[in-house]
Amino acid sequence: MKEATKNTKDKGNAGQNKPQMNTEDTGNKSKIIRVFCVICGSISWWLLANVLCGFCGFSFAAPAHVQLLLVLWRLAPWGLRFTSKGAAMRGALATFGATVAFGLWHSLLCLPKVKSDAQKLIGPRYGRGFYRLFFMLQSLLTTGALAAFVITRPSRVIYSAPKWARPLHWLVQIGAVFIALWGVKELRFRRFSGIQGAADAIKDKPQDEIAAPETQSPDGGDGLSYERGPFRWSRHAIEWIILVVLWATPLLKTNWIGFNIASTFYMIAGVFAEEKRLVAKGGDAYRDYQKKVGLVFGRKK
C-alpha cells in the first residue's frame, strides 16, 4: 500500500517537473518558418521566371527577366510593404501618363479625317461598315494592355474601406455595371459593337443605310427614341456610370489613382466632344432631347 502511494507521488512530481514550452522559442520558430517560406517562394518565382523567359526566347540575364521578377514580386501579398513612397509616386505618374496616351490614341481614331482616310484605304463601303468593329476590337486590346500595365506598377494603399463598408462598395459597383449593360442593351449590342455595320457592308446594303454609330449614347441613327433605358435620366449614362465603378472601389492604390484621374478627365472631354457630334447629326431632335434630359443626371421641366 505504501509502495503504491509512493509511486503515485512520484508520477505527480514527474508531471510537475515536466519542462514548460517557452513562448519566446515558439515565436522565434514561427519567424524562422516565415522567412523560410519567403525565401522558398522567391526562389520558386525566380525559377519560374527562367522557364518563362526561356519559352519566350529571352536570354538568362535579359532586362525582361528582371522585369518579370519585379512583376511577380509586386503581385505578392507582401510586395506593398516594401514599396517606397518614391516608387509608388513614380508608379502613379506612369499610370497617369499611360492612360493619357490611351485617351489620345482613342481620340485620334475618332477624328473624321482618320475615318475618311480609312474609307479611302479600303473603300467607302467597307470603311464605313467595318470601322466601328475595328475600333471596338482595338479598344479591348489596348484596354487590356493598359490594365496589365497599371496592375504591375509599384503601389501603396491610399484608401481601404473598413470591412463593414466593403459590401456597400461592391453593391454600388455591381449596380453600376448592370446599369452600363442596360445602356448597351438599349443601344442594341450588335449596332453598338460594330457587328451590325460589318454585316450590312457584306450584305450589299445601300451605303447610306449601313449602321455606323459614333458615340456611346443614342444618336438617332437607329430610328428609335433618344429617351430609352438609362438615357431617360442621363444623356451620357454609360460614361458617367463607368466613373462610378472606378471611384466606388473599396481599395484604392497609388497605381490606380493615376488611372482614375486621367480616365475622369478623358470621360469628361469625351462627353463634350460627343455632344457636338450628336447635335450635328440629330439637329433639332437632339436639341429637344437636351431640353428634357440632363447632361449628367436628371430630367428637366
Tell me: do 118 and 78 sit in the same domain.
no
Answer yes or no: is 4 within a domain: no
Query: For 165-204, what is each residue's pLDDT tens digit?
Result: 999 999 999 999 999 999 999 988 988 888 988 888 888 7
* Residue 209 binned pLDDT confidence (cut-offs 50, 70, 90): confident
Q: Distance of alpha carbon 94 from its chain centroid, rounded?
A: 16
Same domain, 54 and 162: no
| Residue owning grid cell 481599395 | 251
Amino acid letter for position 236:
H
* Domain-embedded: residue 5: no
274: left (phi over 0), alpha (psi -120 to 50) or beta: alpha
**For 255-291, how does the pLDDT look when each residue is reduced to its tens digit (9 = 90+)?**
899 999 999 999 999 999 999 989 988 888 899 999 9
Residue 72's domain spans which residues?
A: 34-82
Place of cell 439637329: 283
Q: Percentage of the chain surpassing pLDDT 70? A: 72
Q: Which amino acid is at 242?
A: I
Q: Quickly list H helices, 17-58.
A: 23-56
- 72 with 192, same domain: the answer is no
Q: Is residue 188 located within the same domain as residue 274?
A: yes
DSSP letter at 252?
A: E
Question: Is 205 a member of any domain?
Answer: yes
Q: CA-CA distance, 86 to 115, in Å (whole number)?
A: 42
Same domain for 76 and 120, yes or no, is: no
Q: 139 with 260, same domain?
A: yes
Inter-residue contact 97 to 150 (CB < 8 Å): no
Give 165-174 pLDDT, tens digit per residue: 999 999 999 9
56 lies in some domain: yes
3-class secondary-structure state, position 130: helix
Looking at the fold, whether 224 and 105 belong to one and the same domain comes out as yes
Distance, C-alpha 96 to centroid of its chain: 14
Three-state DSSP state, 96: helix
Does 221 share its domain with 242? yes
User: Does one domain contain both 173 and 279?
Assistant: yes
**Would you say residue 145 lies in a domain?**
yes
Q: At which residue does the C-alpha cell 504591375 appear?
A: 152
Tally the domains of the chain: 2
Domain co-membership, 66 together with 158: no
| Whether residue 55 is found in the same domain as residue 145 | no
- Rounded to whole angstroms, how far apart are CA atoms 213 and 270? 15
Confidence of residue 245 (pLDDT cuts 50, 70, 90): very high
